[in-house]
Each structure stands twice: as structure tokens, then as C-alpha cells.
A and B are shown apart, each in its own frame.
Chain A
């Protein structure tokens, strides 16, 4: 465990200060920069396929789109690093979006279509996310049930609840509220859209939390060896529950910027987001079995997943039916390259 942590420290120093090769530096570099290099290669491919890829609009669209999965994936990085798993995030996002829309629609009568309504909606969203995460965490830890089963269960529950709330159809946000809320997705500050700012802020906070706080170190320790962590007087259950709550808040944040995009939620909202989030985390170099997490890798993983879809939309050279194949190959190759270099660095 301690060697893994030490190793990780080295990695951060390299990343943070951008220092040049230490003795075994090059391979370590490859490991850290692996996802980033894959991203650059993919971007070059994008430009070759269609120069429109580099258009400012396209880049902005793409980054903005990646924010949902990205923010959720940052939460997932904590859960996975601490040896857990959360399959419920996509359904949770749909459920929170549904409740938010219903709440804001009903608040319009009382407060009118104004900031108050939206702030209350956002508040409710964060609270719901926190509670949903708490439930996942407490049932996993106190109930001693595998996270896979617990979150598979809550995934089904939230998915059917949103379908029930929407009467099988689609919940649509009141148009007047939507007009005020709309800039949260479409607006920008210094030429960068708000969702991207939120994504960036969550990433920075996540990075600090995971690498420079006791909570982060506990996550690494628990993910490496839960028993040892427990003997080291770490409150394992509490820390694990906290990671799920953090995940819940991340889902709520993603939902808050998702709702103004189309102003609607249905049973089809957020389908498979959980897998995309987990994929982003793994592409970024976090270990699925826990014990090792990397926030910036996750960020790049999320952007890469969105980029693949974007590039495929920019060309008609590949049959539409094969989109899934291309995505699958790129994901596997990206992770393979990284793991190959990981092997080399091992003593």
C-alpha cells in the first residue's frame, strides 16, 4: 500500500511541476501522460478527418457536452478508488432531473418564474443527490451488501421512479423558468461555457481532495486493503459512505447543468451514463479494483469519450452501424497502451 502511495506521490510531482525525467522518468511519464497522449492522437485524427473539428464552436460544443459525464466521473473516481462502485448514477441523474422539473413547475405558482424558483430547484437537486448517495453508502457499508447489488437495485428504483413521475412520457420544464435557467447551459464567461467552468472547478476540488487531504489518503488506503485500513483506525464505513455522498453531489451538479439544456427529463434520460462514467475513470488510469485514482486522467477520459462520438458525427466515411465498434476499439487500445507502460515501470 505504502509503495503505491509513494509511487503516486511521484506521479503527482511529475504532473504538477512538469519536471523533466527522473532516473526511471520516461516510463513514469508515459503512465501519467498516457491518457493525454491518446487524447492528442485522437484530436489529430479528428482534424485529419474533418478540419471543422478544430472550429471553436465544435470544440466548445464538445467540451460542454463532456461536462455531464466528466463531473459524474470525478465522483466515480472517489468511489472506485475506495474500492466501491456506483451503477445508479445515470438513473439517479434522471430521477433528480425529474424531481427538479416537477418542483420548479409547481413553485412557479408561488414564486413566479424567477431566480428564487431556480435556486430552490438547485438546492433540492443537491439535497436529493446527497441523500441518494447516503442511501447507497449506508446500505453498502452497514448492510454489508456488495456495492454492485446495492447500486444495481437503486438504479432500477430511480429509473422506474422517473418513468412513474413522467407518467411514461416526458417531464417538461415551464417555458418561462426555462428561459431564465437556459444560460446555465448555453451561457459563457470569458468565452468558455458555464458547464465547462463547473467541470473544471469540480476537477480542481476533486484533485485537491483526493491528493492533498486525509480523506483522499483514506480512499487510497481503503481501496488498497480494506482490512489493513480498518486496523489502522480508519473509519472505513464512514469514508466509504462519504465517497458515495460525494458521488451523489456530483450527479446533482451534472443534473443542474443538464436540465437547462433541453428542459426535459424522461425514462430515457441518462441511460448508460454509469458505464460511460466508469469507462472515463478507467481510461484515465484509475484502477477498477481500487487503491489508485487519478482525477486529471478521469477528466481526459471523459473528454475522450465525447470526442469519439463527435468525430464519428463529423464523417460519413464509417458506416453508422459501426460506431459502437470504433468506440470499443479506441477505448480498449487507449487503456492497453497505458497498462503496457504500467507493466514496464514495475520493478
Chain B
């Protein structure tokens, strides 16, 4: 008896499921479907990307009932390439917003999406080949380095000893460091050492501990990233050397923005490299379909200096980042 029951239940469920898929497929064809492909929330910044993508989805879908937004997250570059195939074949998307895991391996999959007639918006990490994307939205890594360098140069009146903590050895890190070095070029600012702290709190803590035992005088620390900065803050606090230096991070993590807002002298400023850029990209992509003005080309976000005065507008207490 139970086996017949189970069989019936299975058949019913399968039938219902099939009709549902068929039905939703038919319904979707009439509206505009936008696929958003982003890295899974495995670290703080990517967590922020996920949060802002979800928020933008809610907001845009409420605003435009005809638009459906599908967000898929991937743990690796390979997984993301599979996601792209699924988005095109299963969800028949009209537009794709993608923050590539890595530029190189995803260039070809994105090109294939483009060839199927989809509008493509690339976010943050550029593809290795030009002319694939319709729209490019990104932060400015070079600018982040430059703004940080100029602030430190100004604060130190053009002379002093500083230490630098670098990120994971990548193009992003290189561009930031290059911008920074250009900004302090020609001044009497001396970089005592640069070590990789891999955008990680624990590494930031350990590298800074070693800097502190190695150098008797440090006037400023360029941590380049807010996760590193949090580790640096603890190391400095442990060594009781809060009074001799200040720290410049980057990104716009809520904990750091809060400190800036409260006028913390150890962390007087932050430089923006916002995970919210995914929302900007989604907005612009929708605009391409609903606006009568052309929305194409490149949209490069500024990397403004976040100070005590303007910190509030960059503070998102509900975001995980």
C-alpha cells in the first residue's frame, strides 16, 4: 500500500513540477530577465557585494514589475562559467551583470554569452579582451592608491617613515601600489618596507607586529584594505604606539567607517572601494532598457576620501561588510 501511495505522490509531484517549469518559462519570455553572476560570499568584501546585489534586486523588482532579476553565486571561476551557461540556456536572460571571479578564465564564457545576443555589463574586474562588454562598471584601484598616497603625503608634510601592507599578489594590488608610489614620488617620504598581508586580518596583525618590533619610528601605515587595517589596529594597540602613527585603510567596511565617523585619531580616514558597485551596475543595466538615453561605455567610480565629515553617507550598518 505505502509503495503505491509513494508512487502516486511522486507522479503527481513530477507532473506539477514539469507544468510549473513550463509555465514559468512561458511567463518569463514576456518580461525582461537580468542575470547577475557574482562570487560567493567567502570574504568580507564579496559578502558586501552579495548584500548590495540582493538589496538592488528587491528595489528594482519593486520599481519595475516587468523585470525579473536572477542572482547566482559561484565559489570558483569554473563554477561561474557553468552559471553563465545555465543563465543563458535555462533562464534565457536578456542582460548579464557579471563580477568575474578572475578575468582570464571568464573572458571566453562571457564572450559566448555576448554572442547569444545578451547585453553584457562587466563589474570591477575587466575582461582580458576588449570589445566584449557593452558596459563596464568599476572602482578605480590606481585612484585608491593615489588618494591614499596624497593624504599621507599631506598629513606628514612631505616627510616621514611609513610602512605598507600589500594585498594578495594580483593586478589589483599592483595598480594600487603603483598609484600610491606615484603620489608620494618626489617627497621625503620613505617606505620602510612592503609585505603582503593578503587582505586578511590575521596576516595584517602579524605583519604589523613584526614591523613594530623592527622599526622604532613609524609615522604612518598604509594598510590599503580595511580587513588588514583591523589587524594593524590591534597590533599597534598591543605595542602601545597609538600616539605615534595613523593608519589608512581602503574599501569602506562598516567598522572602519564607524571609527572615522567617530573621529578616531588612529584611523582618521578611509578610501572608498565600495562593494555597492554591483548595485550601480544593476541600476545602469536596467537603465539601458528603460531609459531613452543611451547607457553604454564605461562607468568608473571615484575613490573619494572618507573623512569624519562625509562618513555618514558611506555607512551601511545592516551590510555584512
Contacts and interface: CB of A to CB of B under 8 A. Distances in A.
Interface of A: 50, 52, 55, 57-58, 61, 65, 163, 166-170, 172, 186, 261-262, 264, 266-269, 309-310, 313-314, 316, 320-321, 323
A186 B47 contact: no
Contact of B44 (A65, A169, A310): A169
Given A186-B238, A269-B202, A168 B214 contact: no
B232 to A, nearest CB: 11
A190 B245 CA distance: 30
Contacts of A186: 238
Contacts of B227: 170, 268
Interface residues of B, number: 38
A56 to B, nearest CB: 9
B195 interface: yes
B48 A169 contact: yes
A170, A316, A323: which has the most chain B beta carbons within 10 Å? A170
Contacts of A309: 206
Given A168-B40, A169-B319, A264 B230 contact: yes
Sort A-B residue pairs by CB-CB distance and give the 10 closest, nearest first. A168-B41, A169-B320, A168-B47, A313-B210, A169-B47, A58-B213, A167-B320, A61-B209, A267-B42, A57-B213
B237 to A, nearest CB: 9
A87 B230 CA distance: 28
Contacts, number: 93
A320 B320 contact: no
Interface string B179-206: 0000000000000011110001110011
Contact of B210 (A172, A314, A320): A314
B213 A61 contact: yes
Contact of B47 (A57, A166, A313): A166
A55 B213 contact: yes
A186 B48 CA distance: 31
Contacts of A166: 47, 320
A323 B197 CA distance: 12
A223 B201 CA distance: 38
Interface of B: 40-44, 46-48, 50-51, 166, 169, 193-196, 200-202, 205-207, 209-214, 227, 230-231, 234, 238-239, 255, 319-321
Nearest to B75: A160
B210 A168 contact: no
A169 B210 contact: no
A262 B166 contact: no
A268 B200 contact: yes
A309 B42 CA distance: 25
Nearest to A321: B169
Given A61-B210, A261-B234, A313-B206, A320 B169 contact: yes
Contacts of B43: 168, 266-268
Nearest to B49: A168
A55 B239 CA distance: 13
Nearest to B50: A168
A163 B205 contact: no
Contacts of A65: 206, 209
Contacts of A321: 169
Contacts of B51: 167-169
A136 B196 CA distance: 35
Contacts of A320: 166, 169, 194-196
A320 B210 CA distance: 15
Contacts of A316: 193-194
A310 B169 CA distance: 19
A185 B194 CA distance: 27
